[in-house]
Amino acid sequence: MIYIQGQLAIDWYESTRAMLPPPCGTDAAGAYKDFWLMSKNGKPAEWPSPHCSPDLNYDFSQQKVRDHFVSHVALPMAAAPNVKGLWFDDTDWLSCNDMCNEVHDMHLSPCDMAAKERLFNGTVAWKRLVAQELNANGQVPIFSSINKWNSTPSQASCPRNEQQVTQEMAGLSCKIFSRFD
């Protein structure tokens, strides 16, 4: 198994380092400047990083970002010898939390329910795409989730509960585990 962050472009990997701005990345030309969730100050929202800031948050509500993530980040790692699957961590952390007052002191814009749903739907879409691609190669993705299986809409912090997401993934071989169930 190979570990991949499911929301952040962490500078640990060459595939994501090329997308990040200097000093830790190499995207001096800004080719990926519109790939990130934005903060209220109009700059890409930075995740606190112990290694190098910024670790930026993918804006998975955009088709081009999902396609790039699957094609240029996930699938190249899956092509490594002897890999049976990929473990994607924190796949729905932001879209299942309060995006206006996130716990890591990020304040995203937009952060209303429509933005939350777009990010959540985009996350589910890349999960389906990556599962299809990995399954075609005999591999299985594992998705870490903070979603809850039995939550009702009034309890849920995610737009849909994990049972509903699992139903959307029907026919695909993948593992989804929640930290709370």
Q: What pLDDT score does 50 carry?
A: 60
The pTM for the full model equals: 0.87
**Whether the Cβ atoms of residue 35 and residue 65 lie closer than 8 Å to each other:** yes
Determine the average pLDDT of the residues in 147-169. Answer: 73
Q: What pLDDT score does 181 carry?
A: 46
**3-state secondary structure (DSSP) of residue 3:** strand
Q: How far is CA 94 from its chain centroid?
A: 9
Q: How far apart are CA 117 and CA 56, in angstroms?
A: 19
| Boundaries of every domain in the chain | 2-6+58-178
Residue predicted with more confidence, 65 or 51: 65
Percent pLDDT > 70 in the chain is 87
- Neighbouring residues of 14: CB distance < 8 A, sequence distance ≥ 6: none
Place 51 in a pLDDT band, splitting at 50, 70 and 90: low
Please state, rounded to an integer, the average pLDDT across all residues of the chain. Answer: 85
Residue predicted with more confidence, 32 or 45: 32
**3-state secondary structure (DSSP) of residue 11:** coil
Measure Cα distances from 42 to 38, 64, 128, 130, 156 in Å. Answer: 6, 21, 30, 30, 29
Measure Cα distances from 167 to 8, 42, 135 in Å. Answer: 25, 36, 17
Report residue 12 as tokens: 């640990």
- Neighbouring residues of 79: CB distance < 8 A, sequence distance ≥ 6: none
Q: How far apart are the first and last CA of the chain?
A: 23
Q: Is the pLDDT of residue 154 over 70?
A: no
